Structures are given as C-alpha cells and as structure tokens.
Amino acid sequence: MNQDRENRLPASADPRSTAELIRLALEALDEDAAWKYISILRGRGDHEVLDAALALCNSAATQERKLGAQLLGQLGTPGKGFPDACFGGLAGLLGRETHEDVIAAIAFALGHLDDSRCVDLLLSLKGHPSPAVRFGVVNAISGQNHPAAIQTLIELSRDPDQETRDWATFGLGTFIETDSEEIRDALADRLQDSCEETAHEALIGLARRKDRRALEPLLEALSAGEPSAMHIEAAMALGDAALLPALMAIKGHLADHFSAEAEFLDKAIANCQKSGE
C-alpha cells in the first residue's frame, strides 16, 4: 500500500488488524512513528481495541503497559468510547504500577478522560520524583474545580521542572474561572519566572481576575515596542485605562506586526476605553 495513501486512511478503513497495529506501535523506533499507529487504534475505538488495551495493561512488559494506558486515554477519538471501562482499567493499573513512564502515561490518559474521579487518584503523585509524572498530574487535573486539584496546581506552579510549572500556571490562570487570594498570589509569584511563557501565563491569569498586580509588568511590556500576542490578550482581559496610550501607540506604529491579532488589539483598546468612562 502506498505510504502516503496509508497515512490518509480513516481509522475505520485501515485494513490492518488490531494485533498488527499494536505490534507496529511497540516496534516503532521513535515516539512519532508509534503515535501514528496509536492514533489509528484510538480512532477505531471498538470493543476489540478496548479488550486489547486492557490486556496490555496486565502485561509484564513496561512498554506494553504504557501502550495500554495510552490507548485507554482517548479510545474512540474524537469522541470517548467506553469511558467507564477505560477509567476502571487505568485506575486498576495505577494502583499496582511502579514504573515512572507508565505512571506518567496513566496520568495523561486520565486527563484525557476528563473524569473528576482522577483527582483523588492522582493527588498522592504531586510530589513524585519524576518530572514526567508531576507534569502528567498537572495535565490531568487542570480544569477541575475540585479544591484539592486547585491546591495541587498552586503547589506545582512552584515546581522546579519548567514544563510542570508552566502548565500548572496555565491551569490556574486560564483553565478555571475560580478566583481566590491564594490563586492570585500564586500567579503573582510567577510574574518574574525564568520561563517567559510561564510569566505570560501568570500575567493573563491575573488580568482575567482584574488583579492590578498585572498592570505594571503589562504596561512595561506594551511600552517596550514589540509586545507578544499574549500581552495583548492580557490587556484585553485587564481593561485598564492606564494601558490606553501604549495600546494606541501599538495600533499606530506596529499595525503590520499585529495584523493577525488586529481584532484583539481593537478589543483591548475598547475595553480599556470603557474602563475610563
């Protein structure tokens, strides 16, 4: 079969058996190659794939258990097939798993299921020595308004691992609408983060909550000459009249730079004008 044509086939039309696709995923030389087969299996999402994934979760081989977890996380993509069976399989595997790669895969898979029950399962892993596991926990619990999930994100927003810290900050700032002094303080602590993207996420989170601690760093960024689209987004959310001169200067002198975000720039200006009325 022509390779290009093969890659375009919908999962339901791929002629290869579930067993063959699993073998190919396990034998793939790199993650990108493996995910091609995993995506086909997930998209197929039938009882046969479910049973195969559950069987993989009971394997003595680490890579097979990891693959089982990856399949259960998004079975039936873009929908969710057999969510209760998938959750049960992942929860059971987590209860007996010791390998950090598999635990991280389970955490990500539970997050894809978007089941609030994952919070109680994963809280004990927030201090796991593996950054990959902690990152998986952050991804799984982001968007959950459970108080324990929010507290865990606050703690992991201070994580030494940059990726974990960044996504925890994003989870606090954007994924939830919940507002509290503790959340805003955690976001403010990240305004000077060594990772620029994390600092931007913190800025947006504070701006969305109308916390004026966002004003000074935002004004500084806007006045510097070449702010990012994230700064424009934060200005739109904060809507403070003090930002108007800098925003108008951007509109007048950097229109081409922000052509793709012109609508957001205009909205930011309108919001700031409204606040000054």
Tens of pLDDT, residue by residue over 66-115, are 999 999 999 987 777 899 999 999 999 999 999 999 999 999 999 999 89
What is the token pair recorded at 14? Answer: 């791929």
Q: Whole-angstrom Cα distance, residue 165 to residue 88?
A: 29
- Give per-residue pLDDT as tens, 11-61: 667 899 999 999 999 999 898 999 999 999 999 999 999 999 999 999 999
- Return the number of other C-beta atoms located less than 10 Å from residue 252's C-beta: 8
Peptide linkage before 131 cis (omega within 30 of 0): no
198 close to 165: Cβ distance less than 8 angstroms: yes
pLDDT at 226 over 80: no
pLDDT at 250 over 50: yes
CATH 1.25.10.10 intervals, the chain = 1-115, 118-209
Kindly give, in sequence order, each residue whose CB lies less than 8 Å from that of residue 74, ignoring residues fewer than 6 positions away: 42, 80, 109, 112
Q: Whole-angstrom Cα distance, residue 71 to residue 45?
A: 9
202 close to 188: Cβ distance less than 8 angstroms: yes
CATH 1.25.40.20 fits 118-209, yes or no: no
CATH code of the domain occupying 1-115: 1.25.10.10
Question: pTM of whole model > 0.95?
Answer: no
What is the token pair recorded at 175? Answer: 């994924």
For Cα atoms 124, 130, 134, give the angle at the middle one, nearest 5 degrees.
50
- Give per-residue pLDDT as tens, 146-199: 999 999 999 999 999 999 999 999 999 999 999 999 999 999 999 999 999 999
CA-based nearest residue to 106, from 128, 145, 133, 78: 133
